[in-house]
């Protein structure tokens, strides 16, 4: 999952708010949701009140981290270079997510359209939000 989906899910209540949020809820119910450390950091950054931060931090602790290795950082840099050569810009965080998804054969759930471009160049897999709650 990308940071944008987690952020949307934490800001909106109730099913139907956003198809990606509904899909995240389904993945959580199925036990298939995971985080990376960098996404965990982004989701928790900027929370003003310590009690809110601690409450969210504690909730997120129930999700396992997909661990990054030196190889993942090297792969992310190579992916950055590959996309840049194709005229596609992106953030270091996005390419680390791509590298982890690629190595672990994990599909990325995101609302960030940049990942469509990364997919075309890098061959990563993206999760499409299912149209309705099963």
pLDDT tens for the chain, 134 residues long, are 678 888 888 765 555 568 888 888 888 899 888 889 999 999 999 889 999 999 999 999 998 889 999 999 999 999 999 999 999 999 999 999 999 999 999 999 998 999 999 999 999 999 877 654 44
Residue 126 pairs in a beta bridge with 108
Residue 12 is predicted with a pLDDT of 55
Q: Which domain holds residue 88?
A: 3-122
Residue 128 is predicted with a pLDDT of 78
Distance between terminal CA atoms of the chain?
20
- What's the predicted TM-score (pTM) here? 0.85
55 lies in some domain = yes
Instruction: Indicate the average pLDDT of the chain.
Output: 88
67 lies in some domain = yes
134 lies in some domain = no
Residue 40 is predicted with a pLDDT of 92
76 lies in some domain = yes
CATH number of the domain where residue 40 is located: 3.40.50.1010
Q: Write the DSSP symbol of residue 16.
A: T
127 lies in some domain = no
114 lies in some domain = yes
Number of domains in the chain: 1
C-alpha distances in angstroms, 78 versus 61, 88, 96, 103, 107?
30, 13, 10, 13, 19
């Amino acid at each position: 999952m990308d940071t944008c989906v987690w952020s949307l899910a934490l800001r909106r209540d109730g099913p139907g708010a956003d198809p990606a949020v509904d899909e995240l809820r389904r993945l959580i119910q199925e036990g298939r949701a995971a985080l990376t450390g960098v996404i965990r950091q982004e989701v928790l950054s900027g929370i003003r009140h310590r009690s809110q931060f601690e409450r969210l931090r504690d909730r997120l602790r129930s999700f396992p981290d997909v661990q990054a290795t030196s190889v993942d950082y090297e792969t992310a840099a190579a992916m950055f270079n590959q996309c840049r050569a194709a005229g596609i810009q992106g953030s270091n965080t996005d390419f680390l997510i791509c590298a982890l998804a690629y190595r672990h054969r994990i599909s990325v759930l995101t609302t960030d359209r940049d990942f469509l471009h990364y997919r075309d160049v890098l061959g990563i897999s993206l999760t499409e939000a299912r149209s309705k709650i099963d």
